[in-house]
Amino acid sequence: MSLTARLTAPRYLLGQARRAAAAALLAEWTKFRTVPGPAWLLAGVVALTVAAGVAAASVARCPSAACGIDPATVSFTGIYPGQAVAAVAGVLAIGNEYSTGMIKLSLAAMPRRLTWFFAKTAVLTAPVLTASALAVAGAALAGRLILPGHGFTPAHGYASLTSATDVRAAAGAVLYLTLIALLSLGLAAAVRDSAAAIGLALGVLYLFPLAAAVVSNPALTRHLDQIGPLPAGLDAQATVGIQSLPLTPGQGLGVTALWAAGALLLGALALTLRDA
Amino acid sequence: MTTQTVTPDRSPLAPERESFWHLVHAEWTKFRTVRGWVIAAGVTIAAIAGGAFLGTDVSGGCAGGRASGAASAAACPVQPTGPGGVPVVDAFYFAHQPVTGNGTITAAVTSLTGQVEAGQAGNGAPRMGPGLQPWSKAGIIIKQNTSPGSAYAAMMVTGSHGVRMQWDYVNDTPGLVQGAGAGGLGRWVGRVSVSAPRWLRLVRDADTITGHDSADGTHWTRVAAATLPGLTSTVQAGLFAAGSYYESSRCTYDSNFCTRAIGVFRHIRLSWPATGWTGTNVGGYANATGTPLPGTLRQSAATTTVAGFGDISPAAGNAYGGSGQSLQRALAGTLAGLIPLIVVAAMFITAEYRRGLIRVSLIAAPRRGRLLAAKAVAIGAVGFVAGLAAATLALAAGAPRLRRAGGLEWPVSLLTEARMAVGTGALLAVAAVLALAIGTIVRRSAPAVAIVIAVIVVPYLLAFHPLPGSQAQGSGPGGGGGWPLQLTPAAALSLQQAVPRFHQLIALYPLAAGYYPLAPWAGLAVECAWAAAALALAYYLLRRRDA
């Protein structure tokens, strides 16, 4: 091997790694866009979130100035059912690979498992983020159109439904939906089975508020609301009475992000340490 | 030996191998030989049984509605209990005299008016405005003694429910006199007046007290007979008035006692020797400075007027701090246990599709409806047994913990407890069948599991955290939870209701205190309707589609 070849080798390898990552991304993106399932699921996230938001906004009433209702909470009611669909999208991104046996082919083509996992995560994140933004924008728009007619007027203390706080709440909702999809993806990689993963993901989401509802100790209830990804994420979407919430909006989103990061880490570890 | 019959070639399988129960057995074998599924069923049992410990931990606060959130024991009042251990409120104004042996008390009520607190006067006394409540009451009563929670039977005129006979806090029977007023021949629910009084009579015979009412004092109708076991020979008989439950944050004396009833009596006759009336504020509820509820007794030549706050009533719903520790708390883990069961039940069919086992199954059992039915029976049985076992464990563990925590627990009959345990099994069984049907319809694990969890768990959460700004849920005698617990499969959770509801107590019956909007078996019927509809669609698709 000549001297020049030896000198250029590291650079060449670096380029190769970069190319491999780009190729992995392209391959995963091709997989993602050529099956109809993910597109339907993302459409489902948008449809369910907007529809439930419209339904909630049309029954909400603010009869007096002291009603204390959070218009963002009303508009974003659809996040409750919508996140289940986002979770399914996250689970199926990995779960389908295992259930169809595609995982063997994928890992044969991309032996660097973390590269593959990173590509998978990135390819899920971008469309889910887009769908969440559409869903939240639709729900917020519906609330903006419907709620002023139901007593959410400046006279009752709702000066504007498009203030900086409302924009922050909407951004929180978008990020929350995306984080739930990532949380589910990580869990699916950890347990390798769609059904178990979705049960686990929805359990993690819904069991904290369920437990908080039955516990009679107020301190314990508050802690459950702080550590659960769902109640913490809801704090990030609030615009009224933020001081009395168990977490600030930033902390709430942080807790949900920690859950997602933990699940992704668990999935990455399981993927690298275990046979596929 | 001469002739040999040639039998045609037959399958060596015995005929019973083709029977339905054999198919069920085959499906049961499939279930029990998958280790993960058996573990998941175990997790279901563990979650429900373990949930009992979380749900029955009522150490923080009084658990009652009156002082929820108050951590110090001093802030938690002692709840009187009536006959049978029922938590009650027994606070009213009682004009009484001791009477011994059998006898009769008769009185005519010529006026019943009510007041509700509208604010406070300058000296801190309540300022009362008009406001007769539907269950404001005044009448005659025979009571063991004047201590709260003692046995009684009473005949009374109420604000808008006519004449009633009530006894021992939970029993209520309408009077039978048919009036000639606007109600025509219907039950009389009008207002009394001097020209149209109501005559009430209580007859004591040992431990039986019979109530009668009359429109004219001569023609009497028997309303009901109350048996008060263990009634002593000497009891207190007399007149009473109670304002009834009315929750408001502005009440001076107690957030529950904001109303006063004023009854005017004439023609009071006792068959016992009269000793004169003594006025007592039964119950001793007082305001912050210790002033008892101000009842009054005024006597003139012809009339006796009794006015009183308070109520004689079971402490149910959110009223009188009598809620929150129902035995239902022991089953708090039900939904947590439901999730792994739903996963297993959906996989019971989706795993067959994933592995291609469905083809083998259909070759073995070509009649697809029978295969689906066998699967439903097998997974339903797993759900039922898991739910029954788990609920029995949870009730056995939770009941003593609740009893130790305080005396507010509603006494639950063995029959109710059995209904709760069997009902939990039924709830889980039908949920498992629903998950199986949805799994057959969508043929994929993740969507099937997500759909079933979304239709069972999410409605419960929505019922607990009602949509902000929507109409208050859980109000009125309809019970808590609203539409999410009436229309979705989560309605079957009503099988776990341990506390009764009383039509004679107008209060909130919230989900948080263990009240559901539907009757137990009606709730199960709703869940069954969902499962049946899903099964029908699954059957149709299974027959129509290629496997």
Q: Between A153 and A93, where is the model more confident?
A: A93
Q: What would the DSSP string read from start to end of B15-49?
A: GGGGSHHHHHHHHHHHHHT-HHHHHHHHHHHHHHH
Residue whose structure tokens are 């989103």: A253
Structural domain ending residue among the three candidates B280, B295, B314? B314
Q: Is residue A131 situated within a structural domain? A: yes
Please count the residue pairs, one from chain A and one from chain B, whose beta carbons lie less than 8 angstroms apart.
127
Instruction: Please check whether residues B302 and B414 belong to one and the same domain.
Output: no
Q: Looking at the complex, report in whole angstroms how far the Cα of residue A1 sits from the nearest Cα belonging to chain B.
A: 52
Q: In sequence order, which residues have a C-beta less than 8 Å from that of residue B414 and are 6 or more positions away? A: none
pLDDT at residue B122, rounded to an integer: 64
Q: Is residue B236 situated within a structural domain? A: yes
Q: Is residue A213 situated within a structural domain? A: yes
Tokens of B311: 């109520």
pLDDT at residue B373, rounded to an integer: 95
Look at A92 and B446 and tell me if their CB atoms are within 8 Å: yes
Instruction: Please check whether residues B309 and B334 belong to one and the same domain.
Output: no
Nearest neighbour of A206 by CB, restricted to B63, B343, B457: B457
| Spatial separation of the C-alpha atoms in residues A181 and A129, rounded to whole Å | 9
pLDDT at residue A4, rounded to an integer: 54
- The verdict on B332 touching A (C-beta cutoff 8 Å) is yes
First and final CA of chain A: distance in angstroms?
38
Instruction: Please check whether residues B169 and B136 belong to one and the same domain.
Output: yes
Instruction: Please check whether residues B272 and B336 belong to one and the same domain.
Output: no
Q: Give the domain range for residue A206.
A: 37-58+67-273
Q: How many domains does chain B have?
A: 2
Q: Is residue A8 situated within a structural domain? A: no
Q: How many domains does chain A have?
A: 1
Instruction: Please check whether residues B284 and B255 belong to one and the same domain.
Output: yes
Among B60, B59, B56, B66, which residue's Cα sits nearest to residue B87?
A: B66
Q: Is residue B78 situated within a structural domain? A: no
Q: Is the pLDDT of residue A158 over 80?
A: no
Element (H, E) at B314: strand B311-314
Q: Give the domain range for residue B108.
A: 88-314
Q: Between A21 and A227, where is the model more confident?
A: A227
Q: Is residue A268 situated within a structural domain? A: yes
- The verdict on B276 touching A (C-beta cutoff 8 Å) is no
**Considering only residues 462 to 481 of chain B, which have any Cβ-Cβ distance to chain A shorter than 8 Å?**
462, 464-465, 467-471
CATH number at residue B162: 2.60.120
Instruction: Please check whether residues B374 and B400 belong to one and the same domain.
Output: yes
Look at A209 and B465 and tell me if their CB atoms are within 8 Å: yes
Q: Is residue B443 situated within a structural domain? A: yes
- The verdict on B357 touching A (C-beta cutoff 8 Å) is no
| Predicted ipTM of the assembly | 0.87
Q: Is the pLDDT of residue A208 over 80?
A: yes
Q: Is residue B355 situated within a structural domain? A: yes
Q: Is residue B341 situated within a structural domain? A: yes
Instruction: Please check whether residues B300 and B161 belong to one and the same domain.
Output: yes
| Spatial separation of the C-alpha atoms in residues B389 and B377, rounded to whole Å | 18
Q: Is residue A21 situated within a structural domain? A: no
Instruction: Please check whether residues B309 and B345 belong to one and the same domain.
Output: no
pLDDT in tens, chain B (547 residues): 566 777 766 666 655 556 888 899 999 999 999 999 999 999 999 999 998 888 877 665 554 433 333 334 445 556 778 888 888 888 888 999 999 999 999 999 998 988 887 776 666 666 777 888 888 899 999 999 888 889 999 999 988 888 899 999 889 988 865 554 444 445 566 678 888 888 999 999 988 999 999 888 888 888 999 999 888 999 999 999 988 877 665 666 665 677 888 999 999 999 988 888 888 888 766 555 555 567 788 888 888 999 888 888 888 777 766 555 678 888 989 999 999 999 999 999 999 998 889 999 988 888 899 999 999 999 999 999 999 999 999 999 988 888 777 645 678 888 999 999 999 999 999 999 999 999 999 998 999 999 999 899 888 888 876 655 554 444 333 445 677 888 899 999 999 988 888 888 887 777 877 888 888 999 999 999 999 999 999 999 999 988 7
pLDDT at residue A139, rounded to an integer: 92
Q: Above pLDDT 90, what percent of chain A?
A: 38
Element (H, E) at B34: none
Q: Is residue A173 situated within a structural domain? A: yes
pTM flag (> 0.90): no
- pLDDT tens sequence across A116-144: 999 999 999 999 999 999 999 999 898 88
Q: Looking at the complex, report in whole angstroms how far the Cα of residue A27 sits from the nearest Cα belonging to chain B.
A: 24
| Spatial separation of the C-alpha atoms in residues B78 and B286, rounded to whole Å | 13
